Structure 1
Amino acid sequence: MTTESTIPAPLDVIVVVGSNRHGRFGPVVADWLLDRIHAHEELSPQVVDVAEVPLPMTMNPTPQATAALADVTPRLAAADAFVVLTPEYNHSFPAGLKNLIDWHYGEWRAKPVALVSYGGRSGGLRAVEQLRQVFAELHAVTLRDTVSFHHAGAAFDDAGRLKDPATSDAAAKAMLDQLVWWGRTLKEGRERRPYAV
């Protein structure tokens, strides 16, 4: 007698697009990333774009901030996992991304965060290392493996396709497989023993 194994429901993953500069390159990388996530049967993505979330930098709960939070906060709270896409600005990550992170706290706790970066020579890896410290303070778990694009503008063609996709595609698959493992493990942990630290 054979027993059919039940396939668990896909994890809800939020892709945070962290750049809000005029003329930003982030949407090109985000489209590539979302294609990989959509192809992963265990992940169901949504996007939160920092450029579309009008949170004031003053941390003042204005009517505009309240409206933005009413849209974003429930989505972050319901997510099982996150993929944060960041450029590197002056050896760090963008202020708008930090602002979105800082407006929230419990929404990140005991959840996995994968990090994808792009930039010049460093590929955004200095921004990634600083984000690890921020998310550790928020009790989130950052994945060891990342995906980074060095000289990102030259890595993609005019249609937004990677010129040499093999290495990045393999790195993305490894990272997303890890995200699924951490996402399911931490979700089970939160359900069995709510995280209240």
Structure 2
Amino acid sequence: MDILKERILQQGLVLSNDVLRLDSLINHQVDPALTMEMGHEFAKRFAGEEITKVLTIESSGIPSAFAAAYVLGVPLVFARRKKTLIADPEAYCERVPSFTKGMVTDIMVSKQYLTADDKVLFIDDIIANGDAARGLVKIIERSGAHLVGLGIVVEKTFQAGGRTLREQGVRVEPLVKIASLADGQITFE
């Protein structure tokens, strides 16, 4: 997606050789038109897969996952990071470290919204080390649902997340691949 690359170059902020801040595009402020284009692109890449649900992790994955679910005409389900008083006590739960948050959290999906009958498209914003993604893949496997693939807005290919998921047999479709953030420069693959 050339438009996404252009916007990343214009608005992305390289914080270190490992961290790219995209707050003005996808993480804090969301560009609805660009987000809908991403949803159409994900739907195109996974066309013909008979997807029944789009799944993501709160909160940064929600906008692009919503756009994909809207275009596909299926429900969006998101894994919660915080347990609420009305949460399903029998939810699928996985403990995962967060690269950008620098802490370990639990992600939860209600068994009511993820079943063995589902064909799931997992959408997320950025994949770095892939810990959260691997945690959600474990939840999908435990539910008996079929994981169609993982759509990623930005894959940092210099980190192992996408590669390790591909090695596990997961289809990973990034919209943009970043090969390096060295010396404060964004280098696309």
TM-score of the two chains, using structure 1 as the length reference: 0.40
> Greater share of helix residues, 1 or 2?
1
Larger Rg belongs to: 1
Point out the structure with the larger strand share. 2
> TM-score scaled to structure 2, two decimals?
0.42
